[in-house]
Amino acid sequence: MRSVVQVVIDASRKEVATLLADPTNSKRWMLDLDRYEPISGKPGMPGSVYRLVGKDGATQFTATVIRRLPNELHLNLVASKVTVDVHGVLSTLPDGRTRLASVEVFTFKGVWNKAYGVFARPVIHKTHRKHIEAFKEFAEKQTKRSDPSAKEASRHRAGRR
């Protein structure tokens, strides 16, 4: 099953890429996440491995960073019942904002889990959208704090839309 979500973030591609690639930020925008646990490698770099544990305690994903480029992040998440291939691509818009296209491909393990995946598509897509929208809000707040002129630039861009 494949889920695609796109958002436009009022921040530069470089700022968004830095925030997205740092797994220590996950808990700050994934509201259903209890903790991030590094396992091996330098966090966020290709080959690094970490665990994401949900607030329910039952949901756990082991994440491996497959690729990290200035405009792309590719992760593989493995849980007991599903594997998720996560691919985020960033592009700069003419007004300086950033488009994040997030593609998640779910591969369910076992017959029952595959059947569940078919029926759960709307919920999975809604959760994916919720996570990406939360990341957008997080990124915009973080970049506004670090750039005092951001409000003025944002107002200027809003006038050009």
Closest CA to 98 of 36, 17, 154: 17
For helices 121-146 and 13-21, give the axis angle rounded to 10 degrees: 120
Query: CA angle 133-19-84, nearest 5°?
Result: 60
Convert the pLDDT of each residue in 113-153 to its tens digit: 777 777 778 888 999 999 999 999 999 999 986 555 544 55
Task: Specify the pTM.
Answer: 0.84
Q: Which domains does the chain have, with CATH numbers?
A: 2-22+69-154 (3.30.530.20)
The Cα 13–Cα 47 span in angstroms is 23
Convert the pLDDT of each residue in 95-106 to its tens digit: 999 999 999 999
